[in-house]
Structure 1
Amino acid sequence: MSEAATRTRISPRPWIGLAIWLGYLVLVAAIQAASGIRYDTWNDSARDLFLGGGVSLIVASIALVITTSVLGWWGPALHEDHRSRHRWPLIAPVLAALAVLMNLGGTDWGAYSGAFFGASVVLMLVGFTEELVNRGLLLTALRSRYTEVWVWLISSALFAIGHLINVALGASVAATVPQVLTAFLGGTIFYVLRRTTGSLIWAMVLHAAWDFSVFAAGVGDSGDLVSVATLVYVLAGVLAFASVAFVIKDADRGARAR
């Protein structure tokens, strides 16, 4: 268990993290389903994007702030006691950031209205909610029992599996399965970013920027850069997967030192 985790109000346990992960999915899915707006039509209008996705993220953000405060887990959820000694794995998050810029460069900004832009900004809360759940609270809970390789694998796998709720919300299976696989690689990118910087904040920012850029590129007629951006993001995920062993080894070494 990390040094910060020993100072929490409620001791971290794997079941608590799993309950938070499941509760978050149920809450978000229930609110989005109640809106009556299919996931694959969010980009149709600012109203559909805000009601279909934005409202659920606002509610979930409030619920997560309350939950994290009650548990007293802000410290271990947001910060590493000992970040990775290796900095070169940052190449994966840097490539992911480049993919974000490529998406934004290929976006048809002329098709954007002020209202749609506002709804898109609200959607960036996904960076806060999904990172706090998966690589914040769930990670903290898993570290109370499992070695770091299992912490990375379980948290990344559950992050990916969570995207399956999109099928229940109207997305096609054919479109969702690749999204799940990409999410596992993306989860590894964000895990590497947390371990190398020592903070979850940067992962929240990158996650929010990526999701924003994906929805932005889906408005109007996107340019050729968008297709290339997807390939660059997948490449970043593959590089993160190839380098994750180095940041895991550093985490295990820090745990033994404590």
Structure 2
Amino acid sequence: MTETLRVRPRVWIGLAIYVGYVIIVFAVQQFSGVPYTALGESGNNLFRGAGLSLIVAAVLLAITTTLLGWWRPALFDRHRSVRWPIIAPILMAVALLINLASTDWGSYDGPFFAASLVLILVGFTEELTTRGLLLTGLRSRLGEGWVWFITTALFALMHLVNSLSGQAIGPTLQQVGFAFLGGTILYILRRTTGTLIWAMVLHGLWDFSTFAVAHGTPGPLAGFGSILYLAAGVFALATVAFVIRGSNERLTISTTTR
């Protein structure tokens, strides 16, 4: 099957979008003057320090994807992989529900809750950047094994900028490691469902849940969410080869303008 796109996918285009996304989000967050460690102090801090950068990034990514004509390859695979590795995303979804059930909702006020809902946009922005546009660029040259590894590694490494925004390097490195596991889970979800959309939804709700459970006084089951997430990540690493094996997602591209 031949895709007709406005711009032929190239590895460098995917990488440029990735770097541009990281720079723009970091710049907007720095301009806000709110350090990473102070995001949870108020709804105003959360919106200015995180939500605003996600809104700006979402608009720019939508414009970029439209100009490139990459919506279809960014959001949809041509073929679905074997289904059973979806167990990993299902476990992550259960962990998400545990987080939400353990959240101290009484500690939320209206502005803080509204600002925290904006965090769900991270599912759209980070997924479209890495497992959408970057993935499309990489598929123009590389096999699917490299596509999984590079998109997941760069997704994890983008979290290093949190150390430049006030978070200690130890927790940041731990966040990078957990993000690699999560990225593998979300890659599996794309391959098993054939679309990035469900990964966007799960990613956005997961980040919302982890932020929610850390606000106020979490319930007694809060720790089980992290344990189950870790188990899902290990299972994902053990099974990702099955969704890569035999995949044929390299695109034969014709362009309409250039």
TM-score, structure 2 length as denominator? Answer: 0.95
- The answer to whether residue 13 in structure 2 is matched with residue 26 in structure 1 is no
Which residue is equivalent to 1:133?
129
- The answer to whether residue 78 in structure 2 is matched with residue 76 in structure 1 is no
Which residue is equivalent to 1:221?
217
What is the aligned length?
A: 253
Which residue is equivalent to 1:52?
49
SS of 2:202's partner is helix
**Which of 159, 172, 180 is the aligned partner of 2:155?**
159
Q: Partners of 1:101 and 1:73 in 2: how far apart?
A: 33
Most deviating of 67-76 and 112-121: 112-121
Q: Which amino acid aligns with 2:243?
A: V
Correspondence 1:181-196 to 2 at 5 A = 181-196=177-192
CA contact (8 A) 1:42 1:49 kept: yes
Higher helix share: 1
- 5+ residue gaps, structure 2, are 252-258
Q: Partners of 2:96 and 2:223 in 1: how far apart?
A: 12
User: Percent same amino acid at aligned positions?
Assistant: 56
- The answer to whether residue 183 in structure 2 is matched with residue 178 in structure 1 is no
CA contact (8 A) 2:163 2:172 kept: yes
**Which of 102, 123, 132 is the aligned partner of 2:119?**
123
Deviation, structure 1 residue 255: 5.2
Which residue is equivalent to 1:168?
164
SS of 2:114's partner is helix
CA contact (8 A) 1:185 1:238 kept: yes
What per-residue deviation string (whole Å, max 9, x for no partner) do you get for residues 57-113 of structure 1? 0000000000000000000000010111x1110100000000100000110011011
Alignment root-mean-square deviation, CA: 1.6
Q: Which amino acid aligns with 1:246?
A: F
Runs (4+) off by over 4 Å: none
Q: Which amino acid aligns with 2:167?
A: A
Which residue is equivalent to 1:95?
91
TM-score, structure 1 length as denominator? Answer: 0.95
Change (3 A) 1:31 1:207: same
Q: Which amino acid aligns with 2:44?
A: R
SS of 2:216's partner is coil
- 5+ residue gaps, structure 1, are none
- The answer to whether residue 209 in structure 2 is matched with residue 250 in structure 1 is no
Deviation, structure 1 residue 250: 3.5
What per-residue deviation string (whole Å, max 9, x for no partner) do you get for residues 174-216 of structure 1? 1111100000010000000000000100000000010000110
CA contact (8 A) 1:83 1:250 kept: no
**Which of 104, 109, 116 is the aligned partner of 1:108?**
104
Q: Partners of 2:148 and 2:37 in 1: how far apart?
A: 30
Deviation, structure 1 residue 224: 2.4
